[in-house]
Structure 1
């Protein structure tokens, strides 16, 4: 079975009423993330993909390097003839000062969602990630 790895960043606003960024494809929510390139670290990949898909620069995001969400799932990939692959996903956590304007490149739109847990997007990965973020934020209080 082929193995692929993607990395990304979930961005939260550091405001009185925080919100977080989700990307939208025509039929589902997604995160700013993408495939790791040869020689790239997970963090380098996550920051590159964040910039490529949103326009948010490394200088605009403050990462909490103690947060690293990882999951594995088994989607079918057109690149591999529709075969199932083992996909490893790593998501880092970052703060931005406010709801930044997003430069759309690969998604149909984006949305800054107000943080008001629990959140359910009927997307296993996003829902699990947000539950993990909620635990992290509760520990910091």
Structure 2
């Protein structure tokens, strides 16, 4: 199904989430990428396991660098091919995660249903203007990491949500 922001300018594709495998919460390092279209002021968000939204990210595999992990996770979660030489900034979060930054033109994206261990069930480009409205309406719940990274990269504070789970 798809969902539109209150202004109808942003569309998110959302599948109902069903547990595909045993998910183990880990304290391992994570790497992700903020993909931003500066001409449209839109950022690419993914919804993980039917709950929180944020940039594509995941856990480093054994022997993998943070940059390699970030590239792999973007491909697995969004289908978008990127390269480490496109990274222009990075935000480190207390030794637990790093988010690289890339400026990329908005393109059509879909949930990557064919990836077996993919925990992403929602995806879409959202304008920074619309994002707070989506949060206030309870349509999007941003991860804590996402709020911190967006504040550092875009100098904006997004509201915390009072909602605990959004079901479609």
Task: Give the whole-Å Cα distance in 2 for the aligned partners of 1:92 and 1:131.
Answer: 14
Q: Which has the higher contact order (CA 8 A, sep 6+)?
A: 1
1:62/1:96 contact within 8 Å kept: no
Long gaps (5+) in structure 2: 1-25, 136-140, 156-168
- Unpaired runs of 5+ residues, structure 1, are 73-86, 136-141
Stretches of 4+ moved more than 4 A in 1?
A: 117-122
1:122 deviation in Å? 5.2
What's the C-alpha RMSD, in Å, of the aligned pairs? Answer: 2.7
> Partner of 2:91: helix, strand, or coil?
strand
The secondary structure found in structure 2 opposite 1:110 is strand
Structure 2 SS opposite 1:12: strand
Q: Residue 21 of structure 2 aligns with which residue? A: none
Q: Which has the higher helix share?
A: 1
Counterpart of 1:108 in structure 2 is 121
TM-score by length of 1: 0.69
Select 2:41's aligned residue among 18, 34, 38: 18
Structure holding more strand per residue: 1
* 1:90 match: secondary structure: strand
Q: Deviations over 1:43-86 (max 9, x none)?
A: 11101111111101026x9321xx211224xxxxxxxxxxxxxx
1:97 deviates by 1.8
Compute the TM-score of the two structures, normalised by the length of structure 2: 0.59
CA contact (8 A) 1:118 1:131 kept: no
